[in-house]
Structure formats: structure tokens, C-alpha cells
Amino acid sequence: MEKKIQLDYQEYSSENELSETYKKLVLASKKATENAYADYSNFKVGAAVLLDNDKVITGNNQENAAFPSGLCAERVAMFYANANYPENSVEAIAIVAKSTNGFLPYPAAPCGACRQVLLETEDRYNKPITVILYGSKKIIVIPNVKFLLPFFFDKSAMD
């Protein structure tokens, strides 16, 4: 039997089309790329997490010569938010990547490990997390992490 999965998302061509809240989140994630430690790949990623108390937490990728000992920007930001603001749910995350040529024209999506961490946080607070993937020519806004990971693994699998 054939089945289909539908993914609903919004696509924008400019930051100016985003809400003020999302514009600020994208700006914070861009700024976070400045402190990324990406001496091996020269691929800098910034993430900005918006909590339900309007606090914005940023993170960036931190590489290590012993791959894969580094951490992605998304996990740096999410783990900091969850560790320091355990009572506050995550509303949204903006993710931005840049190479030596500047910000990527098209969005870079989170890796599998980051998707799993985002999903766990979404489940932890029983609240969807909006994912904003920034590219200078295209911005994608996804209303729910589960859309990034349709065949997900969560705690219900362990019941």
C-alpha cells in the first residue's frame, strides 16, 4: 500500500517578509555565527532559540580536530536553553549557515542528531517548535519539528 507524507511550510525570499519576532531571531543567529569555531570546515552555523519568556539563547558550531567531537549550533543553543531555563518552553529556532563566501543563498537544514534533540525538546514541553531555516535567497519556516523527521523516534517507542 502506498502512502504519502505532506509537509506544510512557508517560503520567503527576504527577511523583510518575516514577522518582527522572526527577523530578530534570524539576526541573532547571524550574529552567533561570528563566534563559531569552525577552523576545520570553515562552515559557520549560528542558531537562536526563542523561549516562551521572550528570552533569546544563541549558539554556534564548535568544531574539534577529533571529529565528531564538536557540536552543532542547534544543539549548543538547545542544550543551554534546556539546562538554564528548564521551566521555559522553546517557541522557535532560527538556523543560519555561512561559508567563506558569506551566508548561504539557500537554507542549510539541521543534521539528524540536531533534529532528534529538537524533537525531544518539542515533546518535553508538548508544544510545537517553529523552525526558521535562513538562506539569503530563500527562507523556509516550518511550523513543527516533526515535519523535519517524519519517521521519528521518541519516548513512546520505549513504552
Residues recognised as catalytic? 74
Backbone angles phi, psi at 138, to 5 degrees: -150, 135
DSSP 87: T
Q: Whole-angstrom Cα distance, residue 98 to residue 10?
A: 22
Exposure on the CB side of residue 31, measured as CA atoms within 13 A: 11
Asked if 51 and 57 touch (Cβ cutoff 8 Å), the reply is yes
The C-alpha cell at 139 is 527562507
Nearest CA to 34 out of 46, 25, 18 is that of 46
Q: Are strands 44-51 and 10-12 parallel, antiparallel or unpaired?
A: unpaired
DSSP label of 15: G
